[in-house]
Chains A and B, each alone.
Chain A
Amino acid sequence: MPTVNDFLLILPEVVLLIWALLILLIDLWIPDTKKYYTAVLSAAGLVISAGCAFALLGRTGSAFSNMVVLDGFSSVLSILFLLSGLAAVALAYDYLKRNAAQRGEYYTLLLFSIAGMMLMASANDLIMVFLSLELLSIPLYILAGFFRPRLASEEAALKYFLLGAFSSAILLFGIAWIYGSTGHTDFPGIVASIDGGRANYLLLLIGAGLLLVGFGFKIGVFPFHMWVPDTYQGSPSSIGAFMTVATKAAGFAALLRVFLVLFPAEAPIMAGILWGLSAASMIFGNTVAIAQMNMKRLLAYSSIANAGYILMAFVPYGNPVIAQEAVSSALFYLLAYALTSFGAWAVMIALEPAESDGLLLQDFSGLGRKYPWLGAALLISMLSFIGVPLTMGFWGKFYLFKTAVDGSQIPLVLIGLLTSLVSAYYYLRIVMFAYFKPGEPQIQPGRWASVVAVICAAGIFVLSFIPTPVFQFAAQMIMGMK
């Protein structure tokens, strides 16, 4: 029977869910003209939940009969999700007003989705993985279509929903195979069954493959990425930004934990699949991004490529030492990527006129001259995407590549380097428009989005001076994993 301690370990999630329900209720009596109350309330909830997560930082334990675990990995990711949520709230505020879509449900749904992500990062049972995946996905399906009745938004939501349902089914199917093989859905049980030699190897492999597909869909790697560009473009930009960072991170959280805990022995076989997914994502994402003139689609393809980069370090995960390094690098990169991606999206959201589906690159013309702070934020974000030194992006890639080299994945690293080179073309083209083309941004930039952009850019720059402490924090945090 659950004890108080069980609830204490998932306190951030509990707080967030209760808060979300309360906001849902309170928002009913807040008139449309005063929705900033809802925004502020939800931000407060995120901050309180983050405070709880901070307080739990460093504690480990499992709760609810091993359904969820709390460890450094889940704590750090929880904080990342909550901060991403905070950014998504800040980005949405001006943006929703501009688009006359000030509906309080945005914030409630966002909070629900974040709670799902947090549970996903600490799930210790395949059923829990599935449930939290649904808890994070369903609000996002709705949020993607939040600009109802705008056709593009509805289309994005429908596509996301159909394909998401498809992939959820596949994930569930994989869980079924694993249950069939081992007779367990909880991680310790599955591990015990595999270690005891009672598991059916073939069924297990098929299950693992299907799980990989399910997670691959969430993180958007080739060829499970197809929904990414259409959905990002059609959904509200603040949700696009949130999805590139938080959903991806949640998918990685589950992927890393499930594969590290359940399938270390299958690593030699899985490595081949991961290799292919990683290489294909890097090549495809970076190449097709070149042809994009719409900023949202460009960032979508960039996110596909970045998923490939993170996966790269994870290919040699069978070696315990490398696995440790891989998870630290992935966490570090997720942080760097979160800052960079939010920085880029925030600049775009600040400048995006009402009723548009993303800025064209030409629309950045003259930005550097007219709004130097936003221009600088865009520049820093783009340099960080490329991985130029003095940005977090550089260190992120550095640690990923280093891990891959340590795992003797030289060809993959070469692909990574070459595709980074290719990516410089489209990232720098944005900078070129912002600084070297005459023009004028169409609208007055939204204040909160600008603040987010500048904070992210400052973070990218400042943290790049202390990469080692940050990395070691990540490494120290995952020590207590499992």
Chain B
Amino acid sequence: MTNPSHRWITQLDGSNLPDKALIGGKAWSIARMMSLGLPVPPAFVVTTEACRAFLRDGAFPQGLPEEMATAIARLEQRTGRTFGHGVKPLLISVRSGAPVSMPGMMDTILNLGITRDTEAALVVECGDGRFARDVHRRFYDLYAHIVLKANIDVFPPDGDAASWNRQIADATGAGLPETVYAQLMAAVRAVFESWNSRRAKRYREHHGIAHHLGTAVTIQAMVFGNRDDSSGTGVVFSRNPLTGDPEPFGEYLARAQGEDVVSGKFTPNVLSTMKLRVPNAYQGLMAACVILERENGDVQDIEFTVQNGELYLLQSRAAKRAPAAAVRIAVDMVREGMIDEVTALDRVTPEQVRLLLAPRLAEGQAAQAQILASGEGACPGVGAGVVVTSSDEAEIRAKAGEAVVLARPTTSPEDVHGMLAAKAVITETGGSTSHAAVVSRALGLPCIVGCGVSMLAGLAGRTVTVDGALGHIFAGQLEVVRPDETADPRLTDIAQWAARRSPLKVYRPSEAPSELVIDLNAVEGGEDPKRLPTLIRGYHGARGGAITSDEGVRAAVAEKLRFVVGEPVLPLLIAAVRAKASLNVSSAATDEGAQ
């Protein structure tokens, strides 16, 4: 589409699907949803070509401001609202969108178009003065931090535009640009400039992305879920991301804006309340789930808003999922013919299977045992041992072969050596962001924090079992079991697919051949994955040490071992398949480089 009057700006209306290199990834997915016939708030894009011209000349290309005015007029027409004035004000979002996503790019500006006048109009329209004021405050907050890079802690909610503008003037020497157009152009400029931020530049260099590509700017009409009783906002997953159950799963909050859900200010309701309140929008949403999941070949996480009964999709992306869901969804989708086995293996990581098969308390153990103390579970997992109250002691006793649980009032960097030696960590005070919680999670160490002051004194010297998921410390050594990977039909399906593609065999310890096997537990440096290639070279198989880590399996594949020994088997098989794929890619790259 080469319309000379639209040299720098492209309207997104679903009539075509412009090149991703021209409009960037975010606009491209908006255009794609539109072309699938899905409802998306109207939007347009300042193209990467405009960015390139800006970066070359250090100024906006000729004609861009005029095109911007035309594009905004078109947006006003499409929404029936007006920008910066009028009784039905148009508010817009401004976001960066490079063809490839990268760090260091400008964050999204929301609510641009709010002024003293349009705030007043919004009060009338929504009948909610507090909301209109908050829209205004959020705009100041985002604009000051993102565009002006002002060093301001908070914009007090009980202030108003004049007071917030004074705060900005005090911090930066000048207030906000006067007109909404000037604010918009400054935001576009800030997006363009973020292309050359330190982080973005480095990222491109490391990933071999050309510096001249430039970023696009997506400008989209905002919709509001708090207009009336037939408005609301929510998020839907095309399948349950916790269990993998193939039914849409989500939350809906009537008369609310997206941030209310995200910030946890209100507890949203399940989707069935949406079906009752806004049945048409609900039907549209269910249809969108099917279409987007089919088109993208993966579970979708869709953010949406209902404005006056009308559904708008804001974003759709592959959903994050819990390990159990990852397995179920991958296998179900193969059975449904939606993806092939190779893709399924790509969707389940060795770590997810490890977590799924992690040791846990045997059934009934928790119910029978005596709870000595409880706190906030900071890292799941089960660990048992004698309670020691100093990190030095934990280290010494663990070295002597004893299982210890480290109990501290709180932990600090001085305790890390003790934590490394312990089977579990418990603290008297602190919450989920405390040092103990953070470090334990980094180590994958069962941890309970905030068990209460004077907990230590009662526990020191006792043998306990810590369940970091439940947040309980039990008396004695409880029985721990590992879930059976051969008992779950979905896991056995994946294991078959992986075994067919794995370049090496994985044996359980009891079944392993004994010829030409190196036991890495018996070799110095065997626990260091970096040293494995030289240690295992020439053997048929390896066991112990770091061989069961992803890096260990990768070394085994690279050194063309015939087998590794470890349990559970499935994570190792998946790691082997992944290692083969990535080694093929890097050897192809080397071959290319050699030619």
Say whether A and B bind each other. no
